[in-house]
Structure 1
Amino acid sequence: MADWTIFATPTMLWVTLLAVGLVGLSKGGLGGAFALAGVPIMSLVMPPVLAAAVLLPILIMMDAVSLWTWRGWRDWSVLKVMIPASLIGVGAAWALAAVTSDAMVRLLVGSVALAFVARAVFGRFIGGAPSYRAATGWLWGTVAGFTSFVAHAGGPPFQVQVLPKKLDPKVYTGTSVIFFAVLNAVKVVPYAALGFFETRVLWSALIMLPLAVVTVRIGAAIIKRMRPEVFYPFTYVMITLVGIKLVYEGLAGLLGG
């Protein structure tokens, strides 16, 4: 296997299987923290850039399954603003790829996520809970596109914009699936232009397809049975974990650099 994939050791293979399984549960709808765990876990056994390159084709496979699973569930008023905005973010990230600090992006995204949760929890003391404003979708959509490209961390900006709308959990999940499916597909061209893909990377991603399909379906099955009063507290807890994780990684990267 080492001759035609990146998996030079059994440890590399097993760690990648773990990461893909967690990301698959997230793509099915079960919490953004799992998705953000993918690249860091894989980075334990391979360079982060290689981990991101392997994961992108897998994400696209998962997107295809998720689009079918969540067909019919979406809020077009969210997507018609945030998708064009995310393309601006991807373009900016591509242009700034050589000078963008991954650690700084993670620190900023993590800080935004934690501030959002703090306002949601303590809103009555600081001027009210977050409210949905369609116009801010241009800001957060752009941020999501940028951070998704440079740090695979587009989830928190998307959640900051959309969660205050208090959509039905199935509509929220279906909307996020469409948003990130488009975003991941768009990222293929600049990733390829930057030389992130090679034959061994694509073969490595391909052999993860069965696990990707199964874990996405499991995550979707759980969410479809989850009541709103359970879904939203669960999601806020996951955002908190994501924020803490990103702030820690950002500070560690900046101080270590």
Structure 2
Amino acid sequence: MLDLAPWAWILLGLAALLAGLGKTAIPGSGTLVVVMMAAVLPARTSTAATLLLFIVGDVFALIAYRRHAHWPTLLRLAPAVVAGLVAGFLFLAWSDDAMVRRTIAVILLAMIAITLWRRRRARSTTVGRTAAVGYGTLAGFTTMVANSGGPVMSMYFLATRTPVKVFLGTSAWFFAIVNLAKVPFLAGIGLITPSVLLADLVLAPLVVAGALIGIRLAKRMPQHLFDRMVIVLTIAGSLYLLF
């Protein structure tokens, strides 16, 4: 990884900056980070490298928003997320990269359509138990196969019209827990190598910079602008994965 061309390091640096920004201000940008990392690195290597950068961002997200989490939501989603993680692991065992990318893209676009439809039909912030199970399972599935659980969770929080800080606080705890749980699996199959660790060490300061910028940005961001940015970035990342 350390022998990459200068343009590749520039793209990785931008991805690291977005990883931090996404953790503290714009969750939908996480999909773009996954896409940019996979464009430079081999698919399996990018999964490990991206995960470690996201964990650095999780630290700052927790520092900034840990008190704003809505724990009943996390507990409500937990069983479905675990089921999704297991399903994602099994899916990876027999699918190829192309199938994984397209499956995730279709799921994300479907979730966006369903969320927007629900928001137009009613003002209620209640999401039924069945819907919550669906969101949780898909979040666990997509985060296991491609570190792309963020958009699904974003759609869930948008569906419930969650305020910005509660959105960010609940997401911070959710992904901090899930991402740490994934580390032993990736280490066990040999994806977390010394070269991955060294490259992420070089990129980590940019994650920190992005997180700090995001904290200041989130304080000034209106709810409607936040919602639109999440939707637009999720659609953009999904279309890239699909095509």
Normalising by the residue count of structure 1, what TM-score does the alignment of the two structures yield?
0.83
Alignment of 1:1-16 (within 5 A): 6-11=1-6, 12-16=8-12
Gapped regions of structure 1 (runs ≥ 5): 1-5, 249-257
Query: Partner of 1:3 in structure 2?
Result: none
Query: Partner of 1:98 in structure 2?
Result: 93
Query: Partner of 1:83 in structure 2?
Result: 78
CA distance in 1, matches of 2:132, 2:216: 29
Alignment of 1:123-202 (within 5 A): 132-202=127-197
**Residue-pair matches, total:** 241
Alignment of 1:1-257 (within 5 A): 6-11=1-6, 12-32=8-28, 34-121=29-116, 132-248=127-243
CA distance in 2, matches of 1:114, 1:135: 19
Identity across the alignment (%):
30
CA contact (8 A) 1:24 1:35 kept: no
CA distance in 1, matches of 2:87, 2:116: 33
Between 1 and 2, higher relative CO (CA 8 Å, sep ≥ 6) is seen in: 2
The AA in structure 1 aligned to 2:74 is L
CA contact (8 A) 1:113 1:156 kept: yes
Deviation at 1:179, TM superposition (A): 0.9
Inter-CA distance 20–99: structure 2 relative to 1 (3 Å threshold): same
Deviation at 1:140, TM superposition (A): 1.7
CA distance in 1, matches of 2:154, 2:4: 37
Deviation at 1:218, TM superposition (A): 0.9
Inter-CA distance 90–213: structure 2 relative to 1 (3 Å threshold): same
**SS where residue 39 of structure 2 aligns?**
coil
Cα distance per residue 1:73-127 (max 9 Å; x no partner) = 11112101223322222233234432134433433333333334334555698x6
CA contact (8 A) 1:83 1:179 kept: no
CA contact (8 A) 2:51 2:179 kept: yes
Query: Partner of 1:255 in structure 2?
Result: none
CA distance in 2, matches of 1:51, 1:234: 25
Inter-CA distance 81–105: structure 2 relative to 1 (3 Å threshold): farther
Normalising by the residue count of structure 2, what TM-score does the alignment of the two structures yield?
0.87
Deviation at 1:55, TM superposition (A): 1.6
CA contact (8 A) 1:114 1:240 kept: yes
The AA in structure 1 aligned to 2:188 is A
CA contact (8 A) 1:27 1:216 kept: yes
CA distance in 2, matches of 1:95, 1:193: 16
CA contact (8 A) 2:68 2:166 kept: yes
Give the ranges of 4+ consecutive aligned residues of structure 1 lying more than 4 Å apart after TM superposition.
Answer: 119-125, 127-131
Inter-CA distance 244–189: structure 2 relative to 1 (3 Å threshold): same
CA contact (8 A) 2:18 2:207 kept: no
* Structure having the larger proportion of residues in helix: 2
